[in-house]
Chains A and B, each alone.
Chain A
Amino acid sequence: MNSNIRMRFKILFYLLVIIIIVLILRLYFMQVMSGELYAELASESITREKTISAPRGNIYDRNGKLLVRSIPIKAVAVQPNVVSGNESVMRILSGCLDIPYTKIRKDIEESNVSYMDKIIIKQPVDTSVVIYIEENIDKLPGVEVVDVYLREYSYGALASHILGYIGEISEDKLKSEEYNNYNYEGGDQIGLGGLEETYESVLRGKKGKVAYEVDPIGRPVSTIQEIDPVSGNDLYLTIDIDLQKIVEEALYQSILEVRQKKIKDTDEYYKATGGAVVVLSPVDGQILAMASYPTYDPELFVGGISKDDWSNLNDPENNYPFLNRAISSFPPGSVFKIVTAYAGLSEGIITEGSRFSCAGIWYGLGENFPKSCWLKSGHGSLNIVGALKNSCDIYFYQVGYGLFRKLNNAEELLQKYSRIFGLGSETGVDIPGEDTGLVPDEEWKAEYFKDRKDYSVWFPGDTVNMSIGQGDLAVTPLQMAQAFSIIAGRGIKYRPHLIKEIRDGGDVLFTSSSAREYEDLQLNKDFIEAIEKGLIQVAAPGGTAYGVFMDFPVDEIPVAAKTGTAEFYGKQDYAWFASYAPAGNPEYVIVGMIEQAGSGGSNVAPIAERIYRYLFNID
């Protein structure tokens, strides 16, 4: 062998050594230097986590009657970013779920992939479908069967505006700050209205988790960690579901009856497009019943609401069944007069004995601005009691005018007292969507009519109009119930609320009494008693609601009430009836309102009368 070849063998030997060193160095970098990083990546790549939904808390009424419960069902969920574009998966799903292929494809492709890690394609699904999917999971990457809790309503549509409903979390909510503090995922059911929404964090419970290892096609091979879900807490409402039923029926029947009536001297029927009734406890602010008509069936939302149902619920033709009218604002009309009365007494415009005379027409604002009373023939001479009893407009015009003239309306006294009685701001009731209502004042008017200079000034006539609950004043039935509760309770203002207790199984976590919010408004008891005297007269012979309370034992159970018939530009009159009983020792405040239904005394008072009969066990 020559030296050339010998040299080449030497080169070869060194080459071998270099190769071995390079390979080992490379391994050293991978395994020793970056070993932990790779180990982490590796464990991530084979570990999957799956959340387990927690059963949502149940909802009971004040007497422990089950209103809403959670029922577990199986649903088929997909990860859109995995399934999208995988035609064979979508075809298999279409076949086994019996959904048209085009629909599945559309649902998956239209979901926002970056936020919706998971969307529910179908729920509930049969056991046979669950078994089929689990057996063929290797052909269905990105598809899984998940547990979903749906709602079951023991009383159907009853109290639906209070309870609210649940539905799939939207992409916007998933993104929002508010929903960030909990590990929501696409496909989760959340409260979307009523108490379900307010108490979402109480009802939802705590999700469980399973961590498991999967093979490359995603089949689980072993479980690493399992955390059981924790059920949500139960709500016990202040609502008495039996009373709620009576209230809703009474409201519904009255509306049907009103629709049979014609407006006086015309051929036009009352439309009675909707209404609301609130039954409130004046001693603690508990809402015992709250009805709104028209209503909707929360069952429609179980398993996702259909497009048709949704558009029906939002169709003006159907008078907005979604709207909770108990917390929506309307012109109050004469039921507002209690505020005017208290303001007048308190500001010394009138005393208990002051008398004004009503001739059916009043020229206090000038010859060119005559204001008439609802009773064209006039009421004659009246004090505050008589004025409330007869709901004399002219009496209250003069009180209102007096309030305006005091310090030239510098303090906007009528507005001030309206606000004391809780109008113009939310009552703070624990369901979403509450209107603040409107207490119009100079500032508001200037802003509202800023394009019409001649209109943007607060006129004396504005205060005068407002004194009988007209003008731009808007009040929710719940606010009015709170105002009457203040009169009934001699100046104590409670926050109306719907939750009596929150329980975790048997343990009571929260009671409303422990957190009872009230405010003593420091009102003058004598003035209130004077007003109450007038209100009692409303249901007494000669009062505006006497016709309805004729057969009611007002001697034993004095009812303090006020009727209202509010004009609404372009609409029929809105009928109101606000009351409490027994006066002096109040147990219940009942406020009712029916849209476009004329007189409150004849058309809404019967609802309250019927409810009082039920409450006081009178046949």
Chain B
Amino acid sequence: MIKRKKSKDTFELESYVREKRAVNYDFILFFMVLAVSSFGVLIIYSATRETFPGGVTDPQYYLKKQLIYLAAGILLFIAVQFINYRKIERYWWLFLIAGIVSLASVLMFGYEVHGSKSWIDLRFTTVQPSEFSKIFMVICLAAVLSKWKKEKEHRITFKKVIFSLAVALSFVAMVLLQPDYGTALIYLVVYIGLLFISGANFLYVVSIVGMIAGGVFLAFNAGYIKQYQLDRILVLLKPEVYPDEGAGYNLFQSKLAIGSGGLLGKGLFLGKQTNLSYVPEHHTDFIFSVIGEELGFLGAAVIIISLGIIVWRCFYIAARASDSFAALLGAGIGFIILSQIVINIGMTIGIMPIIGIPLPFLSSGGSNLISMLLGIGLVESIYIWKEVRKEYEIAYQEFK
């Protein structure tokens, strides 16, 4: 009915609908992300103002840096909202190339931190391509698993599964080469999540999970997994065995910090365990320990619920998206955030192995924050560029 008239009227109708749609925006997601990220800046300041990690001399070094990242991230977030996600779907292979190339370049030009070659130094800042590649991979997988143009209806065929597996494994392989097992794990979890939510036959999902488990087992037998990595998992079972060193020490100190926070916490800036650097990596991977210690159970619970709301909004928007690509894209972003929350917070409270991945929106570091804001920008784009037939009809009526 609308399509029939390709006239000036149509154009005016579209711009009218767009005007209406400006109000059609997920403010919950926007404000939650803004609030949590801003709080992240504050807690990073609390974690670094007295401990000077990395040998910096300015107590506000990490505060300033994180503020810049936040500003940059928000700009990117806003910019991405103006892009119709359908364009992204069309050019998804560009993201495949960007992801693989950036991950390849980190292998060539990157530098090592904690034994992983994950960082590229761009002079003015450092970048961790594996963070951005998470989003890129989700875009690619969403494109692969969504309804292809030639398909009459959305179906997950064997071909799609193989294709998606190839895409996922190429990303995972690039990250494993660094090697960054934590990020690789996130990639795999996100892939499995996407496969599940794409509506694929459970047989596929189960066999992919089995394949991955088998692969890990073979890798361990072939000696690719080192003892210290095994310790990080064993430490969960018997944390008291290693309270003095390595993974056990980290976990012990993190639990002390969080546990000692009690109901209300020791107060912002007053966390002793973290401010005296007992908890390692307390501004990055163990930022949640600072939150738990300084803000107590109430503060930590509020943060968990806030993060939960962000994930919920991602899934919510995905579930109401107007096409399968958008649904998978939104869900994929949600999976990235959720899996990192579970593994990171779970690690700090001793229910997950010690795996070095950042906490979304909260851990110090630009790549993490900016890529997360980019992801949320995409989710908002799904929401903004959603095609709601009813809306058009109402608009048409009004337009007339």
Q: Give chain A's interface residues, CB within 8 Å of chain B.
A: 1-2, 4-6, 8-9, 12-13, 16-17, 19-20, 22-24, 26-28, 30-32, 34-39, 41-43, 45-46, 213-216, 221
In the complex with contacts A12-B315, A45-B278, A46-B276, A32-B297 CB distance below 8 A: yes
Distance of A84 from chain B, by nearest CB (Å):
15
Write out the residue numbers on chain B whose beta carbons fall within 8 Å of the beta carbon of A26. 349, 351
Q: Which residue of A lies closest to B300 (CB)?
A: A27
Interface string of B294-332 (1 = CB under 8 A from A): 001100110011001001100100110100100100010
Write out the residue numbers on chain A whose beta carbons fall within 8 Å of the beta carbon of B342. 19, 23
Distance of B49 from chain A, by nearest CB (Å):
14
In the complex with contacts A9-B318, A34-B259, A35-B261, A46-B345 CB distance below 8 A: no
Write out the residue numbers on chain B whose beta carbons fall within 8 Å of the beta carbon of A214. 276
Q: Give chain B's interface residues, CB within 8 Å of chain A.
A: 154, 196-199, 253, 255-263, 272-273, 276-278, 292, 296-297, 300-301, 304-305, 308, 311-312, 315, 318-319, 321, 324, 327, 331, 334, 338, 341-342, 345-346, 349, 351
Q: Which of B260, B273, B311, B346 has the most CB of A within 10 A?
A: B260
Say yes or no: B315 contacts A23, CB within 8 Å.
no
A1, A2, A32, A41: the one contacting B256 at CB < 8 Å is: A41
A4-B199, A27-B301, A46-B278 known, 9 other contacts, Cβ within 8 Å = A2-B199, A5-B197, A9-B319, A12-B197, A12-B315, A20-B304, A31-B263, A31-B297, A32-B263
Say yes or no: A30 contacts B255, CB within 8 Å.
yes
Write out the residue numbers on chain B whose beta carbons fall within 8 Å of the beta carbon of A30. 255, 258-259, 292, 349
Say yes or no: B297 contacts A9, CB within 8 Å.
no
CA distance A17 to B297 in the complex (A): 18
Say yes or no: A42 contacts B262, CB within 8 Å.
no
Return 29 A-B CB contacts under 8 Å, by A number.
A1-B319, A2-B154, A4-B199, A5-B197, A8-B196, A8-B197, A8-B199, A12-B197, A16-B308, A17-B308, A23-B345, A24-B301, A24-B304, A27-B304, A28-B297, A31-B261, A32-B262, A32-B297, A35-B262, A36-B262, A37-B259, A38-B260, A39-B262, A42-B260, A45-B256, A46-B278, A213-B276, A215-B278, A216-B278
Say yes or no: A1 contacts B300, CB within 8 Å.
no
Write out the residue numbers on chain B whose beta carbons fall within 8 Å of the beta carbon of A35. 259-263, 297
A13, A24, A28: the one contacting B315 at CB < 8 Å is: A13
A5, A37, A213: the one contacting B272 at CB < 8 Å is: A213
Q: Which residue of A lies closest to B265 (CB)?
A: A31
CA distance A27 to B345 in the complex (A): 10
Distance of A586 from chain B, by nearest CB (Å):
71
Say yes or no: B259 contacts A12, CB within 8 Å.
no
Top 3 A-B pairs ranked by shortest CB distance?
A: A38-B259, A35-B262, A42-B260
Distance of A180 from chain B, by nearest CB (Å):
29
Say yes or no: B311 contacts A23, CB within 8 Å.
no
Q: Which residue of B lies closest to A12 (CB)?
A: B315
Write out the residue numbers on chain B whose beta carbons fall within 8 Å of the beta carbon of A12. 197, 315, 331, 334
CA distance A30 to B257 in the complex (A): 10
Say yes or no: A215 contacts B197, CB within 8 Å.
no
CA distance A471 to B253 in the complex (A): 75
Distance of A452 from chain B, by nearest CB (Å):
65
CA distance A69 to B90 in the complex (A): 92
